[in-house]
Structure 1
Amino acid sequence: MKPQVHTYRDDAMGEHDGVALAALVRSGDLSSTEVIEAAIARVEAVDPILHAVQVRAYGRARAASIDIDAPLAGVPTFIKDNTDVIGLPTNHGSACYVAKAAKQDSPVTTQYLSSGMVALGKSRLPEFGFNAATEYRYEEPVRNPWNLEYTPGASSGGSGVLVAAGAVPVAHANDGGGSIRIPASCNGLVGLKPSRGRFADGPQAKSAPINVVGEGVITRSVRDTAAYLAAAERFAPARRMRPIGRVEGPATTPLRIGLVIDSPAGAETDDQTRTAIERTAKALEAMGHHVEPATVPVDEQFAADFVTYWGMLAFLATRTGRLLIDRRFDATRADGLTLGLRSQFQRHLLDAPGALRRLKKTEAIYQAAFGRHDLILSPVLAHVPPKIGYLSPQQPFDQLMKRLTNYVAFTPLNNVSGGPAIAVPAGMSIEGVPIGAHLSGKIGDEATLLCVAFALEEANWGIV
C-alpha cells in the first residue's frame, strides 16, 4: 500500500488555507467556481483510497450562491453525516437503516454555513459516533492519509482525512468524547472543542440527559479555526458567556500551565506520546509560560461512569430507532460496539442513576482544577494511533472496550464538564502518523487556547 496520500497540486486551491482562499475569492483573484471545481477534483482523486465521503452534493455546491462578504466566502467544506442538511440523507454511519432526505437544515448546519463555506457533501463517521476509529461492520474503513495502514481517528474521521489530504481546508466536526480532537491529533491538524453552550446544538445533543457534544471544525491552520469561531459567534452569540472575538495571533501574557501526562483514570501513556508532550511543555516554557505538574481530580470512577453513559446512548439509539430515526430501523444490523455497549448498559441498568449524578458534578470539579492554572497540557490520546483493525467494532466487545478506554483516556472530561480544549500537532511517531497535544481551558475561555495554539504554530512546533 502507498504509505502517504495527498491532493496538493498546482490548481486554484494550491496550499492555501481557508482564510487565504476566501481572501482570493473576495478580491476576484479566484472565482468561487474555480475553487469548488478544484476541490471536487481533489476529492475524486483521493476518496477511492481514503473512503472519507458519505454523500456527494457537487451539483448544489456548483449552484450555491456565495456571500462574498462572509469571512470564509466560497471555501469548500464537508459536513459530518450526523448533522441534517436539507435534501441530503443523514445516516449516522449506521447500517441499521437507509435515511431519507432531510426536510430542513439542522441549526448546526445553518450556523456553520453562515461563515460563507460551501458544502460539497457529507463526511463519514463510525456508527453513531461511538468509536475512536472510523471502521465498520460492512464497509471499507476510512484510512489515515499519512499512513494508509493506520486509523485516522473518529468520530469525525472522514472530516479529518479530507482536510489532512488537502481536499478541503476546513471540515465540520463535532465532539461527544473527543471526536474533534482525536481525528485532529491522528491527522496532524487543529481541532477545538468549544465550551458547552457556545454554539448551536443538534437535536440529539439537546435531548440527551447530559449534553456532551460540542460543534466545531477541523482545520490545517489555527487561523482557520479562529476565523470560523468568530464567524459562528457573529451569527449567533452565546448567552451568558464571554465572547471569543477574532483571535489573530499569539498573546504575550505569561500563563500558568498545568502538565498532566498520565491519565487521571489510570491509562498508561506510551513513550512516544510522553516524549512529545514533554517537548511541548519545554517549548511553552521557552515562550515564557510557567509549566508545572498538575492533577485533575477525577479517577477511574469517572471513566466507569462515562462508559455507563456511553452505553445509555447506545441503548437509546437502538431501542428508539424505529420511533425516532426510521420505522425500518433494524437494530440487528448494528455493529459490535453499539450492540455491546447496549448489552452492557442493560446488565448494569441500576448503575445509571448514580453515574448520571456523579457526571453532573464534573463541571464544578473541572472548574476547580483551574484554581491555579490558566491552561492544562496533556496528551490527546494515551498512545499513538493504532493500525486499522485494532479498534474494529467486530472484535470481542470486552477486548475492544479495554483498548478504547486505554486509548481515549484524556478527552471525555471536557465533554462531561463542558470545558473547551484544543488539539494541536506535537510531532510524528516512528510509525509515520502524527501525535497531538491537548490544551484544556476554563469554561468560556477559547480565546486563550487559540492564542497559545497560534504561538506553537508560529514557532513551527509539532508541524507535520
Structure 2
Amino acid sequence: MNKAMSWTELERYDAVGLAELIEKGDVTANEVAKQSHEAIRALDDHVSSVVEVFDDVVENPSKDGTNLEGSFKGVPYLMKDLGPTLAGRLQEMGSKLMQGNRAEADSFLTSKIRSAGLNIIGRTTTPEYGLCSSAENPELYVTRNPWNQDYTSCGSSAGSSVAVAAGMVPLAHASDGGGSIRIPAGVNGIIGMKSSRGVLSVSPNGSDLMGVVSTQGCVSRTIRDSAMFYDECRGGAPGEFMPYWSPEQSYSSLIAHDPKPLRIAVSHEWGDYKADPHIVSELTRTAEFLESLGHHVEWQTPKVDFYKAYQAQTDCYIMNFSQVIAGLMEQKGLKEPPSDLIEPMCIRVWEEGIDATYSKRAAMQAQFNDVSRQVGMFLEEWDIILTPTMAKPTPAISTKEYMTTSEEPNVYDWFQNLWSIFSFTPIANVTGIPGISLPMATLENGLPLGMHFLTRQANDGLLLQLGAQIERALDGAWNGGNKPEVHVSKL
C-alpha cells in the first residue's frame, strides 16, 4: 500500500489535526481511511478490537452520508457494536444470540456523527449487551490490552478504547452505563468522558430517567478531539423526555484557556470500598500535581449514602438489562434465554429482573433522587471530585469473577464484586453528572491507570478545560510519553 504518510506521522496527528491536513489538501479522506484500515489489518490480530471494517466507505468516505465538509472532514471513526445503529449494517452487541442482526436505519446520534464529518469505517467489540467488564467470549473474540496482551482492555467500550490507544483511529464511539467509557479509557491510557444528561441523544430509544443512565460519547487521545466531538454531536432529537442544553461557549474555544483555581476534593474510600495502596499513592501524586497548577486540593469524601448509590445502580442494571434481553429474545421468538446463546450472568440478570414490580422501580428512583441531591450539595462546596478511575489493578485476561461468564450464583453478589473494582464511576450515572478519565498515572506493572474527575451537572466544559490545562502542563505527553506494545508507531 502507498501510504499517505508514515506511521509515525499518522500517530502524531489527532482527529482535529487530520481534518486540518484534509482541508489543506495534503491528504484525502480516502487516503486516511485506507491507512487506518491498513493499521487495523496489521495490529488487530494481536488485540481483537475491531469486529468489522466497512470496505465500501473506506473506498468512498461519503457513501453512507458522511459530510466531508463537516468539521472532521472525513476522518476515520469506529462505532461500538452497541447503541446507535447504522443503516444496513450489522449490530451484534457482543452476543451469539444477535449474530446476523442488521439495523434498518441510522440512529439520531449516528446522523450527527456523520454530519460532523466523521467517516464510520467499522464497528468495535463489546461485552454481551455491554453488561460486564471485559469483551471476552472466546467463541466471538477476546479483546486484549495493547499495553500488555495478557491483560484485559476492560469495557464495555472495549474495542473502541483499544483501537484508539493503538493508533488505528484517533477517535471512536463509546458509551457509559456505569463507567463503560471511563474505565476502558483508564486501563488503555486514553481520554474518556461521560457527558451529563441532556448532551447526546439516545433517540429513537427511550430518553426518560432509566434510558439516560447510560450515556453516549467518545474516546480520544487529545482533549481537543473530545471537545470538538461534543460540540458537533450534542443535541436532542424531536420528542425528547427532557431538555437538551447548550453551553454559552463552545468547548473547543473554552479549552484554550486555563480554568480559575479550583476547589478539588480527593478521595479513595467510598462506603465499603477503597483503592489499593499503590493506586492511592498515584492518586496522591496527582493531587500534588494539581496543587502545583494552582488548585486548592483537600482529602474530602463526598457526603453521600454510598450504600444507596450502589444499591440503586445494581437494581437499575438488573431491571433495565432484563428488559433489554427480553426485547431481543422477543425479536427472535424466544420466551426463555437459551443457555448456548446468552452468557450465564445475563441469564441470571434476566431471571432476577424480568418480573420486578413498579414498587421496586419506584424505590430505586427514590434512591437515585436521594443520591443525586447529596452529590449536588457536595458539589456546591467543591468544583471537582478526584478519585482513581479504578480501585484495583487491571485484571488479567480470563478473570471470570468480573465477567458475565462468571459462575457466581447470586447476581447481587456479582454486582457487589464489580463495585469493589469499579467503585468510583457509577455515581455519575446515578446522578447524571459528567466524569472524565485522564491517562496520567501508572500501575506497578507499567499498565496505565486513569485518574477520574467529576463535576456538577451541565459543567462538562470544566472537565475538558481542566483536562486541557493538564495536557498543556504535560506537553501533551499523556502516559509519560510512553506507547503501547501494540501501536502504529511500531509498524
Query: Shared topology, TM-score over 0.5?
Result: yes
Aligned AA (1:200): S
Aligned to 2:468: 454
Aligned to 1:393: 404
| Partner Cα separation in structure 2 for residue 344 and residue 133 of structure 1 | 22
CA contact (8 A) 2:143 2:152 kept: yes
Aligned to 1:410: 424
Q: CA deviation at 1:128?
A: 0.8
The range that moved more, 20-29 or 422-431, is 422-431
1:163-205 deviation line (CA, Å, top 9, x unaligned): 0011000000111111111111010100111110112114445
Q: CA deviation at 1:144?
A: 0.5
Aligned to 2:16: 19
The range that moved more, 308-317 or 81-90, is 308-317
Aligned AA (1:277): L
| Partner Cα separation in structure 1 for residue 236 and residue 75 of structure 2 | 17
Q: CA deviation at 1:210?
A: 5.1
For the pair 1:70 / 2:70, whether they are aligned, the reply is yes
For the pair 1:320 / 2:327, whether they are aligned, the reply is yes
Aligned to 1:288: 294
For the pair 1:248 / 2:255, whether they are aligned, the reply is yes
Q: CA deviation at 1:71?
A: 1.8
CA contact (8 A) 1:75 1:117 kept: yes
The 5 A counterparts of 1:51-450 are 51-65=48-62, 67-82=67-82, 83-136=84-137, 138-206=139-207, 209=210, 211-233=212-234, 239-243=244-248, 245=250, 246=252, 247-262=254-269, 264-296=270-302, 297-323=304-330, 325-327=331-333, 331-332=337-338, 333-345=341-353, 351-390=360-399, 391-397=402-408, 398=410, 400-450=414-464
Q: Secondary structure at the match of 2:152?
A: coil
| Partner Cα separation in structure 2 for residue 103 and residue 307 of structure 1 | 32
The range that moved more, 422-431 or 283-292, is 422-431
Over 3 Å counting, the alpha-carbon distance change for 1:322 and 1:140 in structure 2 is: closer
Q: CA deviation at 1:268?
A: 2.1
| Partner Cα separation in structure 2 for residue 128 and residue 89 of structure 1 | 14
CA contact (8 A) 2:312 2:430 kept: no
Q: Which runs of 5+ in 2 are unaligned?
A: 483-491
Over 3 Å counting, the alpha-carbon distance change for 1:188 and 1:22 in structure 2 is: same
Using the size of structure 1 for normalisation, the TM-score is: 0.91
1:112-147 deviation line (CA, Å, top 9, x unaligned): 222211111111110111112122263331100001
Q: CA deviation at 1:41?
A: 0.2
Aligned AA (1:445): N
CA contact (8 A) 2:200 2:234 kept: yes
Q: Percent identity?
A: 27
CA contact (8 A) 2:393 2:443 kept: yes
| Partner Cα separation in structure 1 for residue 156 and residue 8 of structure 2 | 30
Q: CA deviation at 1:31?
A: 1.4
Q: CA deviation at 1:244?
A: 5.3
Over 3 Å counting, the alpha-carbon distance change for 1:161 and 1:416 in structure 2 is: same
The range that moved more, 154-163 or 105-114, is 105-114
Q: CA deviation at 1:109?
A: 0.8
| Partner Cα separation in structure 1 for residue 49 and residue 203 of structure 2 | 22
Aligned to 2:485: none
CA contact (8 A) 1:213 1:415 kept: yes
The range that moved more, 411-420 or 241-250, is 241-250
CA contact (8 A) 1:114 1:235 kept: no
Q: Which runs of 5+ in 1 are unaligned?
A: 1-7
Aligned AA (1:75): V
Using the size of structure 2 for normalisation, the TM-score is: 0.86
